[in-house]
Amino acid sequence: MYCLVTGAAGFIGGHLVERLLADGHSVIGIDNVYKNYKDYTWYTIDLVKEKNLEKYFRGIDWVFHLAGRSDIVPSITQPSAYHDVNVTGTVRVLEACRKAHVKRFVYIASSTCYGDHPPIPTPETAPIDPKFPYALTKYIGELYALHWARVYKLPVVSLRLFNVYGPRSRASEEYGPVFSTLLAQKLAGKPFTVVGDGTQKRDFTYVSDVVEAVVLAAKSRVVGEVFNVGTGHPQSVNRLVELLGGQRRVHIPKRPGEPEVTQADITKIKKVLGWSPKISFEEGVKIVLAHINDWKDAPVWTPATIKKATKDWFRYLK
């Protein structure tokens, strides 16, 4: 297949590109940062500002839309920027795909749309209750994608991802995911910062399992459907720290609006797409530790810097 991946320079996007190439597909990568790749075609463009976006999608079979702004804290202080990229950018990509008559469109959505008190485990039919601009804009992007499926018959599938981790995961400049934060601290020999008492659980899902779900969605004939992608077996932050091993822990205050547990109900994706996770949490952490140097340049968060970075979180949501 001829494939196009937006957000190809990102964590999941990069792993997806590698998988598509390994499967023998032709790939075009699009992102707003420059990359010099020899194995496939790369375009450095801004999806919001590019004037002739359709030309990149002509002749494409599968489109994977991963481009977007992530992280909760900066979305609270920059809501318009998040809307521009996650909503306007998505609509522009959908229109380019419609005009180019692409054969499959896979939208990468977020489980944050369920809010901080969803039913556990959380099915796709759970009430939608986004608490932050990031969660809201990702959900609006999903609504647009599903609307294009209904109105324009664009063959769309949306995947709501839960807590993805693995080698080369993001290290945010403003506030990083728990895996990146703890790994950078481990490399620097600093104490692990644990939010609250560390008993909160997350549905950590290894990146290769996520990529497998994305590929299966592209291969399927399902249209206009939403699927959770998780393990269904959440793990505590304390368990993660235990597996990472080594340093002492420093506890910092809980942040308002964070769920105690995230747990995907994956009954639907198992039944319809035949997908199930393969990598156990213990195996996944072991693989991540084998690639720990991926985080050698990540910002090292201390209790003081985390408190400073999350001041807007407390200001708006306490």
pLDDT tens string, the chain, 318 residues long: the values are 999 999 999 999 999 999 999 999 999 999 999 877 778 999 999 999 999 999 999 999 999 999 999 988 889 999 999 999 999 999 999 999 999 999 999 999 999 999 999 999 999 999 999 999 999 999 999 999 999 999 999 999 999 999 999 998 876 545 567 888 888 888 888 899 898 899 999 999 999 999 999 999 999 999 999 999 999 999 999 999 999 997 789 998 887 778 899 999 999 999 999 999 999 999 999 999 999 887 677 667 565 665 555 565 556 655
Instruction: With beta carbons less than 8 A apart as the criterion, state whether 152 and 97 touch.
Output: no
CATH class, range 165-202+233-262+279-317: alpha beta
Query: Which residue numbers are catalytic?
Result: 134
Spatial contact of 87 and 136, defined as CB atoms under 8 Å apart: no
Judge contact between 203 and 240, C-beta under 8 A.
no
* Domain ranges in the chain with CATH number 3.90.25.10: 165-202+233-262+279-317
Tokens of 304: 């003081």
* Sequence-distant (≥ 6) Cβ neighbours of residue 115 within 8 angstroms: 127, 128, 129, 130, 131, 135, 259
Coil, strand, or helix at residue 318?
coil
% helix / strand / coil in the chain, to the nearest 5?
A: 40, 20, 40
CA-nearest of 90, 199, 201 to 154 is: 90
CATH class of the domain at 2-162+205-229 = alpha beta
285 Cα distance to chain centroid: 18
Strand locations in the chain (E): 2-6, 26-31, 41-44, 62-65, 104-110, 156-161, 164-165, 192-195, 201-202, 205-206, 225-229, 235-236, 249-252
C-alpha–C-alpha distance, residues 260 and 107, integer Å: 27
